[in-house]
Amino acid sequence: MNANTRTRWWLFGSVAVVGLALDLITKYWIANTMQVGETTPLIGQWLQIMLVYNKGAIFGLDPRDLNPHFPTNAFFYVFSVLALVILVFYYRSLKGESWLTHVGVALITPGALGNLFDRLAFPDRGVVDFIMFDIGIPPFDPWPIFNLADVYITVGVGIILLGLVREGLSKNNESSEDKPSDTASLHDS
C-alpha cells in the first residue's frame, strides 16, 4: 500500500470515526437531557434545539405518508447497508479524482452509519433529530428538524457535486487550450 493510498484511507477512517462519534454523542446528550418537543434557542428563533424522533428519512421525509403499510425500518436497514457498501467500493475506486470527492464520500459515511445505528438500536423510537433552522422564508420556515448525520450526508453530497463541477470545468479548460483558436487559423492562411 503506497503513501497516497494510506493517506486516503486514513482520511476516510478519521472522518467516519470522528463524525460518527460526534453524531452519537450529540444524539445521546439531546435524548437524555430534553423532552420531546422542548426547544432551546441558540440564535433566537433562527436556530434552536428541539428533540423529535424521526421514523422517516432525511429531513423528516416519510414513505408512510404515501403508503401507511410501508416497511420503513426494514427498507432503511437495507438501503443504509447497501449505501455503505457502495460508498466503500466507490471510495476504493477513487484514484485521480479531486480531494473534494474523497472528502465528500468520507463525510456521507458517518451520516449513513449514525442514522443506521439509531434505527437498529431504537427501532420503535426512530432517529433522534434536534437541529431546528427557521429564517422565516420558505422553505426555511421552518426547515425540517435534522441531526449531524443529516448534515454530513447533505454537505458530503454538496462537496462531491462541487468536485464534479470543478473537474468538468477543468476538463473544459484543458480541451479548449488544446484546440487551435479560430483567430490563429485565420492568421495562418
Looking at every residue in the chain, the average pLDDT score rounds to 87
Give catalytic status of residue 65 as yes or no: no
Percent above pLDDT 70 for the chain: 89
Q: Which of 150, 178, 182, 188 is catalytic?
A: 150
Which tens digits make up the pLDDT trace of 50-64? 999 988 776 667 778
Q: How far is CA 63 from the centre of its chain?
A: 19
What gap in Å lies between CA 21 and CA 110, rounded to an integer? 9
Is 137 a residue whose pLDDT tops 90? Answer: no
Tell me how far CA of residue 61 lies from CA of 16, 56, 68, 143, 144, in angstroms.
Answer: 24, 5, 13, 12, 9
Give the pLDDT confidence score for residue 138 in this predicted structure: 81
Residue of 27, 35, 60 whose CA lies nearest to 142: 60
Which one has a higher pLDDT value, 183 or 153? 153
Give the pLDDT confidence score for residue 189 in this predicted structure: 45
Domain ranges of the chain: 3-63+71-176
Tell me how far CA of residue 20 lies from CA of 24, 50, 159, in angstroms.
Answer: 6, 20, 18
Give the pLDDT confidence score for residue 178 in this predicted structure: 63
Q: Which of 23, 65, 124, 129 is catalytic?
A: 129
Which tens digits make up the pLDDT trace of 11-61? 999 999 999 999 999 999 999 999 999 999 999 888 999 999 988 776 667
Give catalytic status of residue 129 as yes or no: yes
Is 68 a residue whose pLDDT tops 90? Answer: no
